[in-house]
Structure formats: structure tokens, C-alpha cells
Copies of this chain bind each other. A is one copy, B any other.
């Protein structure tokens, strides 16, 4: 048995669990994340997936894959730590200069254990950098009006600079209606269509950039990886990762292609890429043979696969077959410890940005 999940990419969404269907051997997507139409049987160590694909998987770069690992490891954990340290300094400077402490509010409805864990982690992260956190917990049977009232309260609260509504909401509520109620000036997730539109348009600036894609680009920047003029391939076109990641790469003058579930022979396209960002949620999908020698790989997928030797019976792998990719790529993010820690760092960054903008603090 294998199951896959994404990290809490939206900062406010729950885990995007994608369960392996025992009966027909396919993966089912519970939420909005794209999936390439591959059948995988992920088990044990390595990248031993049986992948049905219309094209040959014969490694085009077999000479390279036989050699030892040479890729630089992009250490997301260390970068995220550094960013949190920078945020701590800025929060402190802001407090000392104008007496304002950035504040992040989270609205949690119902008793989902995973949601509660995410909210707790965000609270801890806020505390660690000096951002004040606010929380409203409502019971599962609350009315939509009660949630809207909480949103409205935080919209009006000058101590709150960012608002997250933890998803999923109970099924009797209109999610879009509630999310639309969040003031665009405090929508630190950056998922509002107005923000996405500004992200897509040249000459316009979004108020917030969605946290996970922002984290991906930040990793490239911090490792001085040039984006301009490069060919970039984004695997997955979800609203929360793939699509905004593609828009961000394009803003930085990459030539971008987006691969998704309807793409034929995706490996032919990835092989052209100088930069690959994968956010599809299929363990070890991208093999060494899919990668151009010297490419840079950003792996957003965090997929638990069965592993009897692991303490919990599973281990986490990315969308990229790390063992193989290491021998071909010039740089790669590990899973875990790559993009994962960046999401929450970017959420803190967006909250700080919001507070600075609202208080016109440079």
C-alpha cells in the first residue's frame, strides 16, 4: 500500500492526501492537485516504480546515471531557518521603530486532527519569530454566518495583518464564499483571483505571492541559480503550486512549459528543461532519464511510501526519483527538508510584508 500527500501548500489547506486504491491500483486525488496518469507501485527503497507510459523510458543519459551523485543539495531547512532569522530581526525592528507587532489570525472550524496540527505548527512558527498569532476555533456545526463574522472581525482588527481560514471547511459551508470574504490586504495565502491575475500580468504586482511557489523561487534565488532565459518545466497545474509557480518563473523571464495529466510523453519535455519544479504528488515519478544533465530540480511532492524498515512503516519521498536525479542534476531539493520548510517561512514573510505595507514601514 502506498499513499501520497502534499505538504500544507496553501498554508490554510489541509493535507492533500492522495490515496492508493487497493482495488484497481490507481491513485485517487482527494483534492485539487493534478496527477499525471501513471500507475505506480511504490514500495521499498529506491525508485522501483512500474510506470505505464506511451514512450520508452530507456535512459537517454545512461552514462550519467551510472556515475556517482554529483548534484548539490538545496537545503531548504537551512534556508528557511535563515529566512526566519531575518524575519525575527525585521519584526523586532518594526516593534522598536513604530510599536507595531505583525499579527496572523487563523480560523479553524471543526475537529480535524490534521487541521489542528497545521494550526498548531503555524502558531509555533509565529511565536518563534515574534509574530502575534490569533485564533478562532468554531465547532463543526457552526453556521457559515458565524465563520463570516469571524472573518469580518479579523478584517477590521488593526492588530491582524494576515488571515487564514484553515481548509477544508465543513461540507455545509460555501468555501469560496468564505475565502472571498477575507480582505485582499490580509489574504497572506495569495490565492485570491485578483492576486493571481496580478501575478499573471506584466506590469502588475500581486499583494501576496502564494507561499509554496514563492518558496521554490526563493530557493533558486538563494542558491544563485539563474532563471532568466532558462527553459523551465512545471509538472502539475494546481491553483496552489503549479500554476502560480509557472507564472513566477515567467515573470523572471524563463521560457515555461506546464506539464499535466493530459500531457503526452512528459519525459520528452522535462528532458529539455534547465529547471524543473514538480508538484504532482506521485512518488518517484520523474526518473533520472527524464532529466537533462545539469538541470536544477525543485521537488514539491511529499509522498509517504510503504517501508517496513522505517520506524512508522513508511518514509517520505518526492515526485522526483532522488537517487537517480542526484546523478544527473546539478542541484536538487531533498524530500523532506527541501521545499517543505519554505512554505511556512514564506507565510511568515507574507505576514511581515502585509504589516509593513499596512503601516507603511520600510
Contacts and interface: CB of A to CB of B under 8 A. Distances in A.
A243 interface: yes
Query: Chain copies in the assembly?
Result: 2
Contacts of A193: 194, 197-198, 200-201, 204
A237 B262 contact: no
A192 B202 contact: no
A32 interface: yes
A200 B258 CA distance: 13
Interface string A262-277: 1110000100000000
A254 B259 CA distance: 9
B260 A253 contact: yes
A247 B237 CA distance: 11
Contacts of A32: 202-203
A229 B260 CA distance: 9
Nearest to A242: B202
Interface in A170-200: 192-200
B202 A200 contact: no
A196 B201 contact: yes
A263 B243 CA distance: 20
Interface string A46-81: 000000000000000000000000000000000000
Interface in A142-196: 192-196
A256 interface: yes
Contacts of A262: 228-229, 253-255
Given A195-B197, A200-B247, A260 B269 contact: no
Given A193-B194, A203-B32, A250 B263 contact: no
A43 interface: no
Interface of A: 32, 192-204, 228-229, 231, 237-239, 243, 247, 250, 253-260, 262-264, 269
18 contacts: A32-B203, A193-B194, A193-B198, A193-B204, A195-B197, A196-B197, A196-B201, A197-B198, A197-B200, A200-B243, A201-B243, A202-B239, A203-B239, A229-B264, A253-B262, A255-B258, A256-B258, A257-B257
